[in-house]
Amino acid sequence: MNFGNIKTHIIYILIILVLCVSLFTAINSCSNVSGEYKNNIEALNDTIKYYKTSNGNLVATKRAFESDVKTLKLLNENLYNEIEELKIKGKVSSIVYVNGTIENELKDTAYIIQHDTITKGFSKDFNFNNDFRILEGNVKYNNDSLGVKITKDIMNFDYTVGIDKNNEIYVKSTNPYVKYKELSGFRLSTKKQKHWHFGPSITYGYDFIGKKHGLTVGGSVTYSLISW
């Protein structure tokens, strides 16, 4: 038996297996990068879209970025600065920035004032309250001065924010006067955990029946139950 040829074949087999594993890993890595790139291009060009829920609430949606935090600085520096300002401990998994206005409905009122009332002066209270805003105050006239005083001005709002598995942002508010100007989101890209593994293997075994032992070189497919 020519052990020199056997060793040469073993080396060739190992080289082929290593190259196959490297090629598979490279293809998988390129696929992940390509997916992130496509997603982020869509996020850069995406605009806010709207739809109504069954309850009549308006929902705004927009694509979120998927990357690491350092890459996010190149994609959206404003969102990156928001993360830095929050000083979140540990890794940031996701964040959503919402910018908008609350455009309340316009209201006016008129008071009918008698001439003698004007001479003596007057004070009239007003309120323009609804489920989403409390606006109260009074109008006062005394001698030659006319004043308007706001005694209470409270805005009520709520937001529900979520990001789905496709990196789509969803923002909902029950306040119908909320108008969204900007939605920006970020999700930390994570590599999918692979439980199946393929690669070269070298094992040493003993045959109790044939009373022989030897070295085996080849490839193996394994499944990991515990990840480190």
For 110-127, the pLDDT digits (tens) are 877 776 666 777 888 999
Please check whether residue 22 lies inside any domain of the structure: no
What per-residue confidence (pLDDT) applies to 228?
Answer: 38
CA-to-CA separations, 190 to 3, 4, 91, 169, 171, in angstroms, rounded: 47, 46, 12, 18, 24
Q: pTM of the full predicted structure? A: 0.63
Other Cβ atoms within 10 Å of 29 Cβ, number:
11
- Residues 185 and 2: beta-carbon distance below 8 Å: no
pLDDT at 83 over 60: yes
Task: Give CA–CA dist 202/48, Å, rounded.
Answer: 56
Cα separation, 99 vs 86, in Å, equals 17
Least confident among 11-15, 26-30, 62-66, 156-160: 26-30
Dihedral angle sign, alpha carbons of residues 59, 62, 67, 69: negative
In a domain, 5, yes or no: no
Residue pointed to by tokens 């309250």: 129
The reported pLDDT for the residue numbered 36 is: 80
Task: Indicate whether 204 belongs to any domain.
Answer: no
Length of the chain: 228
Output phi, psi for 188, to 5 deg.
-65, 125
Question: Does any domain span residue 20?
Answer: no
Residues β-bridged to residue 95: 186
12, part of any domain: no
Considering only 18-22, 39-43, 218-222, which range has the smallest mean pLDDT? 218-222
* Number of domains observed in the structure of the chain: 1
Domain-located, residue 59? yes
pLDDT tens for residues 21-76?
Answer: 555 554 554 445 567 888 888 888 899 999 999 888 899 999 999 888 888 888 88
The secondary structure of residue 64, as a DSSP letter, is P
Rg (CA), the chain: 34
Tell me if 29 is assigned to some domain. no
Q: Is residue 70 part of a domain?
A: yes
Contact by Cβ (8 Å): 177, 132: yes
* Rounded average pLDDT over 141-162: 89
**149 is in which domain, residue-wise?**
46-192
